[in-house]
Amino acid sequence: MRVLVTTTPTYGSFHPIVPLARALIIAGHDVRVAGPEPFRAAVEAAGLSFAPAGSAEIPPDLIAELAAARPNAPLRSRLMLTRVMMGIQPRAIVPDLRALMDRWEPDVLLRGHLVYGAYIA
- For the segment 99-115, what is each residue's pLDDT rounded down to a tens digit? 999 999 999 999 988 89
**By the 8 A CB rule, do 120 and 94 touch?**
yes
56 pLDDT band (50/70/90 cuts)?
Answer: confident
**Model pTM?**
0.90
- How far apart are alpha carbons 57 and 64 in whole angstroms? 13
Task: Flag whether pLDDT at 64 surpasses 90.
Answer: yes
